Structure 1
Amino acid sequence: MELHHIRRGTGKPLLLIHGIGSTWHSWEPILDELAAHREVVAIDLPGHGQTPALPGTNTFLGLTDAVADWLRDEQLEGIDCVGSSMGARVVLELARRGVVGAVVSLDPGGFWEGWQTPFFYYSGAASVRLLRTLDPVLPTITSYTLGRTVLLAQFSVRPWAVPAHRALRELRSIARTSVYDEVLRDLVYGPRQQGLPAGSLRQPLVIGWGRQDRVCFPSQAGRAVEAFPDATLYWFDQCGHFPHWDQPAETVQLILSVTGKQAVAANVPSARTAAG
């Protein structure tokens, strides 16, 4: 299927994949800076933004298959890619399949255990129900610092600093994503993310994590690296679930370093692998 996407800049292509309920607009804090160095291709996943939902049931693997098929159709296999949240798990799966180049995975979902599993599901389900109820008055709520602080506290360490237009776009996107409920359930209770044994990857893979992530807790980072032992773990200080919101300059630096023509995982700037 055709995925709605935008292209910015010139140079070596770089794919950006957003999280559940988001669209390509989620990348706007770093889009222009990345496009100054690369041709950036930012997509809307099926059922998100301007891309129609998949026929039948929309699952995590179904969304990933759609991206893989689209990359093949667009002759973009081997492209470097960056993902956020659910999109971060998508790029891990694409890396596992060997269909992409260098990968930066920012706070990937799917590595929860124990109480974290129902917490993620029920907090996500409750959040989307609240946003659907508030949808008509979201423009007013997000125009106030207090409103943004309350509604974005789970995503950012500085929710009050998120511009009103960005907060409104993100929250309305979550509220209006028709496949949100079925994708959320499958993401949490569907098949677990498979990993790769050490020595399997032929391209750099960095898993980035915000130390103050309140969506995918920092303790999950260790499980992600256990699944992908060839990966380098990079910690963002003073950062929540979206490094590209809370630490945009550092995120751009990391992405360009990891996905540069001569990049290897060992050259990640100031790589921090200590426990979060």
Structure 2
Amino acid sequence: MDMHYIRRGSGKPLLLLHGIGGSWRSWQTVLPALAAERDVIAVDLPGFGETPPLAGEVSIRTLADAVTEFLREQDLLGIDAVGSSMGARLVLELARRGGVVGAVVSLDPGGFWRGWEIPTFYYSVAASIRLVRALQPMLPAITSNTLGRTVLFAQFSARPWRLSPKVALDELQTFVAAPSFDELLHNLAYGEKQQGAPKGSIQQSLVIGWGREDRVCFPRQARRARELFPDARLYWFEESGHFPQWDKPQETVQLILRATSGQQLPEVIPTGAQQRTAQPLRTAVVAGSMLAMLAGSIWLVARQKA
């Protein structure tokens, strides 16, 4: 599989798989620190970044096949792997298959939604990509100011105003240019359901990390992920949204290095109150806030250009 990737650092190899719409640049907030300890391979998955799309169906199954082929060609089978969002579901699938990856860290994986959560995920993210595409000419100006970053990343980050303009712009420009985005988004929501792995079938370390303030994959879904992957341990990021590598970069690095070196991690099971932190009303409030802030952001950009 001809897959674009970057390789940094030295030591034991570590694979990084980005989320839907992203690229290897989605890891730039943690890449230097990881590369100081490990030989890091961060790929552009097919249809994203600089890797051409697959010839046929784009799904978790076909992406897992492509990553497996890439690892085989690079003599990297058994590599420790970290995934984010869609990439987090992808590393779980690779772990479930057996013999493909070693220790795994899955950060806020998709695919564990039910009922109203499915259309909420699909239509909210679909609306976000349409908005980003419509604003493409103005993205450099919008991401350069705090209000603009807050508008466009409110669903994905617990503290979007803290994102660097470069990280924000790189991510949004990659979203716009991803030819496989729409098909994969639909398949993630309405396609094949994620299969689990029976207890005792995964021998390597498996950690599922989740942001307490995730507004894409709600924290209540962590329990379902654990039920399908009973060999996994749960790790919670406080004050973090869907991308801990953005909101909690230092903690994310520490988790990855510890989990892939066999160190034991504390596990906190969420209480009922904590599981209810992301309900439909909260999601609606976020969406309304995004629209209101969008109007202000466009006005600000127009004023700056005047």
TM-score when normalising by structure 2: 0.87
Partner of 1:133: 134
For the residue of structure 2 that corresponds to 1:120, the secondary structure is helix
1:15 maps onto 2:15 in alignment: yes
Partner of 1:273: 269
1:242 maps onto 2:243 in alignment: yes
The CA distance in 2 between the partners of 1:57 and 1:89, in whole Å, is 17
Cα deviation for residue 58 of structure 1 reads 1.8
Q: Counterparts in 2 of 1:89-168, with a 5 A limit? A: 89-98=89-98, 99-168=100-169
Q: Is the 8 A contact 1:232 1:273 kept in 2?
A: no
Cα deviation for residue 63 of structure 1 reads 1.2
Moved over 4 A (4+): none
Q: Which blocks of at least 5 consecutive residues in structure 2 are unaligned?
A: 275-306
For the residue of structure 1 that corresponds to 2:101, the secondary structure is coil
Partner of 2:29: 29
Instruction: Report the AA paired with residue 15 of structure 2.
Output: L
The CA distance in 2 between the partners of 1:247 and 1:148, in whole Å, is 17
Instruction: Report the AA paired with residue 228 of structure 1.
Output: F
For the residue of structure 2 that corresponds to 1:32, the secondary structure is helix
Cα deviation for residue 273 of structure 1 reads 3.0
The higher radius of gyration belongs to 2
The CA distance in 2 between the partners of 1:197 and 1:38, in whole Å, is 30
For the residue of structure 1 that corresponds to 2:105, the secondary structure is strand
The CA distance in 1 between the partners of 2:164 and 2:133, in whole Å, is 21
For the residue of structure 2 that corresponds to 1:184, the secondary structure is helix
Cα deviation for residue 61 of structure 1 reads 1.2
The CA distance in 2 between the partners of 1:29 and 1:245, in whole Å, is 6
Instruction: Report the AA paired with residue 71 of structure 2.
Output: L
For the residue of structure 2 that corresponds to 1:177, the secondary structure is coil
Q: Counterparts in 2 of 1:42-121, with a 5 A limit? A: 42-98=42-98, 99-121=100-122
The CA distance in 2 between the partners of 1:68 and 1:273, in whole Å, is 32
Residues 55-85 of structure 1: CA deviation (Å, up to 9, x unaligned): 1232221111100111111110000000000
Cα deviation for residue 128 of structure 1 reads 0.8
The CA distance in 1 between the partners of 2:27 and 2:256, in whole Å, is 13
Q: Is the 8 A contact 1:13 1:40 kept in 2?
A: yes
Residues 221-251 of structure 1: CA deviation (Å, up to 9, x unaligned): 0000000001000100000000011111111
1:40 maps onto 2:36 in alignment: no
Moved more, 178-187 or 52-61: 52-61
Cα deviation for residue 40 of structure 1 reads 0.4
For the residue of structure 1 that corresponds to 2:254, the secondary structure is helix
Residues 18-61 of structure 1: CA deviation (Å, up to 9, x unaligned): 00000000101110000010000000000000000011232221
Q: Percent identity?
A: 62
Q: Counterparts in 2 of 1:206-217, with a 5 A limit? A: 206-217=207-218
Q: Which blocks of at least 5 consecutive residues in structure 1 are unaligned?
A: none
RMSD between aligned alpha carbons? 0.9
Residues 195-229 of structure 1: CA deviation (Å, up to 9, x unaligned): 01111111010000000000100011000000000
For the residue of structure 2 that corresponds to 1:102, the secondary structure is strand
The CA distance in 1 between the partners of 2:251 and 2:173, in whole Å, is 27
Instruction: Report the AA paired with residue 21 of structure 1.
Output: G
For the residue of structure 2 that corresponds to 1:81, the secondary structure is strand
The CA distance in 2 between the partners of 1:59 and 1:227, in whole Å, is 19
